[in-house]
Amino acid sequence: MAKAPLTATEQQILAEKATEHPFSGRFLYMNSPGSYHCRRCDAPLYQADSKFDAGCGWPSFDDEIDGAIRRNVDADGRRTEIVCSHCNGHLGHVFAGEQLTPKNLRHCVNAQALQFSPASQESTEQVALFGGGCFWCLEALFQRINGVTEVVSGYCGGDAEQANYAAVCRGNSGHIEVIQLRFDPRVIAYQQLLELFYDCHDPTSVDQQGADKGSQYRSVIFTQDAQQQQQAQQYQQALQQHTPQPIVTQIIAAKPFYAAESQHQNYFNDHAEQPYCQWNIAPKIEALANKYADRIKPSD
């Protein structure tokens, strides 16, 4: 699937040898099977099973795919640069002798020089269910992600009689504003969706996102099976290690989902000029596109 063009930051890293800030969030807490490729030319660079947590704030690998990486000694002779052997794109640096893994090697790679290719061969669409503030915001963001085939705004957590906007807005319905999305696991892994979810809202905020306050705006993941439950718990535990404040996101086994009224579907796309959309949603879409350009549908 075609990817969006390189962002200015990606171009600076790959072509001008810039370095991103540590703990940018991309790929740090992922352990999904698959391979990491060069963001510029899509050449495979690393298998996911060589990735490890070095605690340094950048994705780290202790092995490379044969022939994928070329080494250059920096001009000052102090460090060894690593570049994609196919397109010569700057990736980061390699270090030996740190005793962090049995291979005693650490490829310290800029996350925005990479993109991920899931190993899944499962052709059946899967479902994910997230709540993190106003469902208009989450819907607009995830509609723009490669591999996401459908996003529906709705309610989850309460009963059918209370599954309507008026009742949910009162804050005592038991429901949470959520999105239900369908995705192709061959294109995007569930953990990549988790990464986007945790990054596009504040998971440390109790029953509030920005000006939206109430239990209907709490941060929650409704998992669809035991595998999603395990992945969500593991991801959140890893993220918490580098998050000073407690993460309050609830991870709950799936409950009945109720689609919201028609006027709440595709809301941003149909009302992009409204002040709420311009002030609250459009900047989030722009930030998402800049940070996760490898996952954005080019048409958007």
Residues labelled as active-site residues: 108, 134
Any idea which residue has 């350009």 for tokens? Answer: 293
Q: Give just the sign of the alpha carbon dihedral 274, 147, 59, 4.
A: negative
Residue 271 φ then ψ, to 5°: -135, 35
Residue type, 152: V
Query: Cα–Cα distance between 157 and 228 in angstroms, integer?
Result: 18
Report DSSP state, residue 244.
S
Phi-psi region of 172 (alpha: psi -120 to 50; beta: other; left: phi over 0): alpha
The number of residues making up the chain comes to: 300
| Helix (H), strand (E), coil (C) string for 99-160 | CCCCCCEEEEECHHHEEEEECCCCCCCEEEEEEECCHHHHHHHHCCECCEEEEEEEEECCCH
The pair of structure tokens assigned to 46 is 């690393």
The pair of structure tokens assigned to 62 is 């202790």
> 34-38 and 219-223: which strand pairing?
unpaired
